Every structure is written in structure tokens, then in C-alpha cells.
A and B are shown apart, each in its own frame.
Chain A
Amino acid sequence: MGVGALVDLGRHKRVPLHRHTLWYYMGGMTLFLFGIQVATGILLLLYYRPSADQAFESVQFIVTKVQFGWLVRSMHSWSANLLIFVMFAHLASVFFMKAYRRPREVTWLTGVALMGLMMAFGFSGYLLPWNKLAFFATQVGTEVAGAVPVVGPFIMRLLRGGEQVTGGTLTRFYGFHVAVLPALTTVVLGVHLLLVQKHGMSEPPSVIEARRRSGVPAKSMAFLPHFAIRDAIGWCAAMAILAGLAAIFPWELGEKADPFAPAPAGIRPEWYFCWMFQALKILPGHILGIEGELIGIFAIGLLAALVLLVPFIDRTPGPGDLRSRLINIAALAVLAIAGVLTVLAYMPAAGGPS
């Protein structure tokens, strides 16, 4: 396929215009931020050293000695967080606009897989500076994986590269972060983008229904140049926000990890894992004779499975039948609970040091 064919494809591609059109920009924005991650990640690779003895010092070297190292590292961290935020917004908009329905089931599945991959990037990347918070976040995160019945201990050993979180875990996470996850993402993202082109942009059932009632013809704009120009303006704005955040709020490095030091007060994971962290915190030791953490892990797993399989649960084509409304209400309830748990995670713990 030559450049001419690609331009032709872009000219023929139409983007529906309606009151929810804004949400169509979220996918492109996620892709743009992923591009920033790849670019800044490659730059960080030039100086980073993945061993327990040198990882922390190498990041310290990047942010203090390398020209603009502080900017590259901060942009990588900030962009990772913005990417997760925009990706959640993209996922939520697809969910509430019912864009997962036939024929886009596989597009949804690849999208959820990409969300899992991005969170895996976040989790593995968090350990790489080898600081105290990262060490204990990895300790807890891998322990959660280890608590899964039957396969858990095997997965935990596989992730840690042994029984404990050590320098071996750091090397392994580095391998996941810079080789395994990018390879998987390239494949899944390729399929996702291909399917988006094949099926075109989905219109929400409510918009289709309103148009059918009013008899007003559908409006749309050409992807090239109109939508692409708007996309580019959004990307420029995102770049400016990123640069501003990196310059005004440089990402902290913290203290070097010490496996024989206690977990520091106020420890918590990245914001997008906080709801799970808080749920595991408030669950009691035992519920009906079962360990509380097991129940929590089971509930999180069940929720992930429901999110993944939603296209096969909600198959009705119409805008608002009872099942579809119930799914929306359940999703809003889950979002509200996750929001409250996240806020609680940022509040001082009861009985914590004054």
C-alpha cells in the first residue's frame, strides 16, 4: 500500500458529527501519548542500568547530570499517567456509547487487552527506578498475583524471578517493560487499529434513534483533513500540558529501595491501582472463614472478566432496553465505588502516625 492509497483511505474515512463527537478524539490522544512513551522510553534507555546496584543511581544521574534528563524522565512519568487517564476516558466513552456491540466485539476485546497491557507497562515501569515505594508496590502487587488459587504461586515466581523481590525481579521487569510488552502491544494495537478502520466509527444508539425520529440526515466530516487537523491541535495541547507538568512538577525519585527497611508511612501505588489497594486495605482478615484478600482478588478478577465480556452480555441493538440500562447503572456504580476508594486511599489511614 503506497502513501497515495493511505491518503485516499483517510479522505474516504468519515467521522460522524453529533453531540458526542468529542469522545472520538480519545483514541487518537491515547495513541499520541503512547508515542510519547516510546520516544521518551528510548531516550531513557541510553542511560538507564537495570540492576539493583545501579538502577537508582542511573536514574539519579539522568535527572541531575544529563542535559534535559529531568525533562525526559518527567515527561515519561507524566505521560504514562495521562495515557492511563485518557485511555480510561476512551474505554468509558466506548462503553457508554455502546460501541462494543456487533460487529465491534473483537475491537472491544483488543481495546481491553490494550488497557491490561498499559497497566502492565505502568506496574513494571514503576519498579525500574528501584526506590522504596516501587519496591513495596512490587512486593504487594506480586503477592496479590501469588494469592490467586492454584496458579498464583507459579505466577508470582515467574514475575519475581524467584521467591522474593530482588535485583532479579528488577531485571525481569525491565525485560517485560522494554521488550515483551512493546512486542505484544504492537500486535494487539495493530489489530485494534485495523478493526477500527474496517468497521468505521460507531454511532451511539441514542443518536441513531433521535435521527430516525426527527428524519434529519446524518452529518459527518472527512477524516482527512478535518478530523486529523483537530486531532493534531489536541496533540499539540497535550504536548504543551505535558511539558508544563514536567517543568513545574518534576517527577520525584524518592529514596533508594532497601529490602531490609520497613515499608514507609503513606505508601500507596499509582492512582489507577489505588482503588484495588484500598479495597484490599479495608477488607477484614477473614470473611465467612475465607481470607479477605482472596475474596478481594476474586471480586477484582470477576469485574475484569465482566468488562472484557460485556459485548457478549449486552447484545441488544436498541438504545435503551432494560438489560442495557442495568449495565449502565452497574457501570456507574462501579465507577463511583472506585472513585470513593481512590479518594480514601489518599486520605491518612486511621491510627497512622500523626
Chain B
Amino acid sequence: MGAMCASMVYPLARYIIPPDVPEAQTSRVVAGHEGDLKPNEGKVFRFGDRPGILVRLPDGRYRAYSATCTHLNCTVQYRGDAKQLWCACHNGFYDLNGQVVAGPPPRPLDEFVVNVAAGEIVVTRS
């Protein structure tokens, strides 16, 4: 009886567990072009299958981070009025080094390396 139940339950359980699909490890993307962002602006870009965020600081330099909030995985945005990164889901704030300033996020955002070459803003996983 037990063996019969197991022979039915096992394939069913294996079927509903999604198969492991190896993620293509993206380590470098073109996040935009010079002139896309004005100083004190930010935009979310696609970094593989996850979102990243590119910020043009008020002094014109670029910074990029993972856009996934470390609290519960919402996508953060840049707030020019506060000069901080903000997660609207649970009101978490990060400074321009990705460090948590306020709210519930437990860890800083992962920072990426930004290079500007031939007008392209290239973001690389550090």
C-alpha cells in the first residue's frame, strides 16, 4: 500500500517542483548612453534577469546598483528630491553608496562598476 502511494505521490511531487533552469550569468551590460540621464536622475535597466539601477549623481558622475531591495525584493527607484534610492514597497531608503539610511532593509544594495566608453555607459558586476 505504502509503495503504491509513493509511486503515485513521488512523480506528482517532482512534477510540481519547477526544474532548475541555469541562469545565464550576465556580468556586463550597456545600461544606457551618455545624455540619457540628466544630473540627479536615475533609471532602472535590465541586468540579466534582474533589475539594476543607474544613477547620475548631481555632480555628473554615474553609479549603478542592483535595483532589488534587500528587504523583500521590490525594485527600488532614484528620488531626486531626497538624493537617495527609495523602495516604495516598505519605505526603505539607501544613500548614494547603497547603504541603508532608513526603513526595514537589512543590508546595503550590491554596487556595480560603471565605465563610460564611446558614449556607452557600461555596467559590470564587481
Taken residue by residue from 44 to 72, chain B's Cβ proximity to chain A (1 for < 8 Å, 0 otherwise) reads as 11100111010000000000000100011
* Docked-complex contact A164 and B18, CB < 8 angstroms: no
Interchain CA distance A351-B103 in the complex, whole Å: 10
| Interface presence of B112 (CB below 8 A) | no
Assuming the contacts A136-B74, A140-B89, A157-B17, asked whether A261 and B44 have C-beta atoms less than 8 A apart, the reply is: yes
| Interface presence of A243 (CB below 8 A) | no
Taken residue by residue from 263 to 285, chain A's Cβ proximity to chain B (1 for < 8 Å, 0 otherwise) reads as 11111000000000100111111
Query: Which stretch from B1-9, B33-41, B76-84, B118-126 is at the chain A interface?
Result: B76-84
* Docked-complex contact A353 and B72, CB < 8 angstroms: no
* Docked-complex contact B79 and A353, CB < 8 angstroms: yes
Assuming the contacts A262-B44, A286-B106, asked whether A293 and B71 have C-beta atoms less than 8 A apart, the reply is: yes
> Considering the complex, which residues of chain A in the window 142-163 have a beta carbon less than 8 Å from any beta carbon of chain B?
143-144, 147, 154, 157-158, 160-163
* Docked-complex contact A143 and B76, CB < 8 angstroms: no
- Min CB distance B77 to A, Å, is 3
Q: Provide the residues of chain A in CB contact with B93, threshold 8 Å.
A: 351
Which of B50, B73, B75, B104 touches A285 (beta carbons < 8 Å)?
B104
> Considering the complex, which residues of chain B in the window 71-123 have a beta carbon less than 8 Å from any beta carbon of chain A?
71-77, 79, 81-82, 86-91, 93, 100, 102-107
Q: Provide the residues of chain A in CB contact with B86, threshold 8 Å.
A: 351
Which of B16, B17, B73, B104 touches A283 (beta carbons < 8 Å)?
B104
Q: Provide the residues of chain B in CB contact with A103, threshold 8 Å.
A: none
Which of B17, B49, B71, B105 touches A164 (beta carbons < 8 Å)?
B49
B interface secondary structure, majority: loop
Interchain CA distance A180-B49 in the complex, whole Å: 29
| Interface presence of B12 (CB below 8 A) | no
* Docked-complex contact A266 and B88, CB < 8 angstroms: yes
- Min CB distance B98 to A, Å, is 14
* Docked-complex contact B21 and A162, CB < 8 angstroms: yes
- Min CB distance B53 to A, Å, is 8
Q: Provide the residues of chain B in CB contact with A168, threshold 8 Å.
A: 18
| Interface presence of A352 (CB below 8 A) | yes
| Interface presence of A291 (CB below 8 A) | yes
* Docked-complex contact B67 and A292, CB < 8 angstroms: no
Which of A144, A262, A277 touches B77 (beta carbons < 8 Å)?
A262
Which of B88, B102, B105 touches A267 (beta carbons < 8 Å)?
B88
Assuming the contacts A158-B17, A262-B44, A281-B104, asked whether A349 and B72 have C-beta atoms less than 8 A apart, the reply is: no
* Docked-complex contact B100 and A354, CB < 8 angstroms: no
- Min CB distance A346 to B, Å, is 14
> Considering the complex, which residues of chain B in the window 18-34 have a beta carbon less than 8 Å from any beta carbon of chain A?
18, 21, 23
Which of A158, A281, A285 touches B106 (beta carbons < 8 Å)?
A285
* Docked-complex contact B104 and A263, CB < 8 angstroms: no
* Docked-complex contact A280 and B104, CB < 8 angstroms: yes
* Docked-complex contact B73 and A262, CB < 8 angstroms: no
Assuming the contacts A157-B18, A262-B44, A266-B88, asked whether A163 and B106 have C-beta atoms less than 8 A apart, the reply is: no
Could you list 30 examples of A-B contacts with CB < 8 Å? A136-B75, A139-B72, A139-B74, A140-B73, A140-B89, A140-B90, A143-B72, A147-B72, A161-B18, A164-B50, A259-B51, A260-B44, A260-B46, A260-B75, A262-B75, A262-B88, A280-B72, A280-B104, A281-B90, A281-B104, A283-B104, A284-B104, A285-B103, A293-B104, A293-B106, A351-B82, A351-B86, A351-B102, A353-B79, A353-B81
- Residues on B lying within 8 angstroms of A by beta carbon are 16-18, 21, 23, 44-46, 49-51, 53, 67, 71-77, 79, 81-82, 86-91, 93, 100, 102-107
- Residues on A lying within 8 angstroms of B by beta carbon are 136, 139-140, 143-144, 147, 154, 157-158, 160-164, 168, 259-267, 277, 280-286, 291-293, 349-354
